[in-house]
Structure 1
Amino acid sequence: MLIYKQKKNQGPKGNRLLISITVLGSAGPIRFVVNEEELVASVIDTALKSYAREGRLPVLGSDINDFLLYCPSARSDALSPWETIGSQEARNFMLCKKPRTGKMEDDGRSTQAITRKGSGNWKIKKGAKESKKWDPTMSKYIHF
């Protein structure tokens, strides 16, 4: 007759899941085991640490607030950081950086690229004296 001993290091109760997280722009997914009761924010943190430990590119950083976790098979919006990872009943996820909005520099200009309109537009400097410019479309001089 055999008596089975219960393992002492069983850890927290609940099911454990092998999840796969694909990082947008990276070569392949990161795989690790998590407890199904673990929060999405904790999973993002673990994924970022594993990604950095493996020396993967592109370099992402470590701030979990800069990232969103998606479940491509379930829905199109990002998972809430306060949801449990097991609530999705999925094993594959996508980690993306949050989109950045145009921030203002010290002088008040936007850091986003400023596009130039056409080459035929004239710019007048403030405080400039009246001058003449040739306008090829009207075949005459324009006074400013």
Structure 2
Amino acid sequence: MTSVLKRLLPIGFLAFSVLLTGCDVVGDARPSGPPTTTATPSRSGTELAARYRQAGGDADIYGIRHAKGEKGFPVLSVWTHKKGGYQNFDDIANSLTLFLSKEGVRLDRGYLLNAYAPDGTRLHSLDTVPEHNWPQSSG
């Protein structure tokens, strides 16, 4: 019995260590610390943000990017001068999505919205993709 325990102990220790580090067996590394992005949006992102501000959007937003996510839904990134985030981020999200819809961005299947501080630290994340937020029916 002790020889079995001696053989299983290293395997158990390894499995426990993997669980503690947040890594999984297939090597899908996860970053430590807060999610970040570059603090500088692209030129087209700053131009889009300028149009957003001209349309009455939040004056602190200096960059906007939209791209398709893995499953085809839009991933929106916003860069803001606010270092501490927004007290009511839903208002910003509604304003931004209304503007982007008028710009021709399709958001009817939901979207993922991330807001970043000037240093690139993620301040807010909003996921409206139904498959991510609602349980699937089994029948």
TM-score by length of 2: 0.29
Radius of gyration: which is bigger?
Answer: 1
TM-score by length of 1: 0.29
